Structure 1
Amino acid sequence: MRRIYHRFPQSIDLDFELARPFRDVLACIARMHDTHTTVRGADGLVKERVLIQITDGRTQFLNLDALQPLSEKVSEMADFRVDLQRTLLTPEKRLPVSESVFFLRIVDKGPVTECYVAKENRLGDLDAMDLRRLLKGACE
């Protein structure tokens, strides 16, 4: 079933292809959900977390965990909401650094998958190229 968000932005920030079948890309996205990495930044350790939601009923998003297994419930096209959060880890507390939210549409094109990315707002320090790099890394 196609899972399309009726308010997906008409103006996109980035359009690219992944040389993977649609079902493989769905599996990559499912593996990325609710994961985090820790990197050393200029101010100390920074935790980077990825949260992913999928559209439901054309008007809202639901947690990706609620729709498992994903490959059996999604076909042809799907819209996602990807939340990339960065938190500074200090000995005393955790300080939110930034939050970047993207809309991601993937479309089945046979042996390749077409991806469209649009940033929800201009807040956050990441852009569509960062999401592309993250998605390509997860699929390789």
Structure 2
Amino acid sequence: MRRIYYRFPQSIDLDFEIARPFRDVLACIARLNNTHATRRGPGGLIKERVVIQIAEERTRFGDLDNLSPLEETVAETADFRVDLQKTLLTPDKRLPVSENVFYLRIVDKGAVTECYVAKEGSHGDLDAIDLRTILKGACE
């Protein structure tokens, strides 16, 4: 079943291919969902979290956790909303540093998977190339 978001942006920031079959890329995206890493930044510890949602009924996005295995229920094309959040961890509280939201469309092209990325808005410190690096890193 195709999972398409009818309001997917018409202007694409980046178009690239991942040299993996569609089902493998779906599995990589599912593994990447709800992951986080902590690194030392200039103001202290920075927690970087990845939250991924998939298109539902062409009008909204829903959690990946609510679906049965993704690679068994999705075919041909899938649209995702990828939210990359950065939070500064201090002894007293957690302060949001930045939030980057991207729309990602993956299309089955046989032995490769074609990916289209569009950033929502202009805020945040990441761009489509950063998302490509994250996705390719998760699929290797």
TM-score by length of 2: 0.98
The letter for the 1-side match of 2:129 is M
Structure 1 alignment gaps of length 5 or more: none
The letter for the 2-side match of 1:106 is I
The letter for the 1-side match of 2:35 is T
Following the alignment from structure 2 to structure 1, what is the Cα–Cα distance between the partners of residues 57 and 16? 26
| Cα shift at 1:120 | 1.0
| Cα shift at 1:68 | 2.1
1:104 paired residue number: 104
Structure 2 alignment gaps of length 5 or more: none
The letter for the 2-side match of 1:64 is L
Q: Render the CA deviation track for 1:25-78: whole Å, top value 9, x for unaligned.
A: 000000000010001111111000000000000001000111121011100000
Correspondences of 1:106-121 after superposition (within 5 Å): 106-121=106-121
1:25 paired residue number: 25
Following the alignment from structure 1 to structure 2, what is the Cα–Cα distance between the partners of residues 21 and 78? 13
Following the alignment from structure 1 to structure 2, what is the Cα–Cα distance between the partners of residues 86 and 14? 22
Q: Aligned residues, how many?
A: 140
Following superposition, which runs of at least 4 residues in structure 1 exceed 4 angstroms of deviation?
A: none
Following the alignment from structure 2 to structure 1, what is the Cα–Cα distance between the partners of residues 94 and 42? 16
Correspondences of 1:39-58 after superposition (within 5 Å): 39-58=39-58
1:5 paired residue number: 5
Following the alignment from structure 2 to structure 1, what is the Cα–Cα distance between the partners of residues 98 and 24? 30
Following the alignment from structure 2 to structure 1, what is the Cα–Cα distance between the partners of residues 82 and 135? 11
Identity score, percent: 76
TM-score by length of 1: 0.98
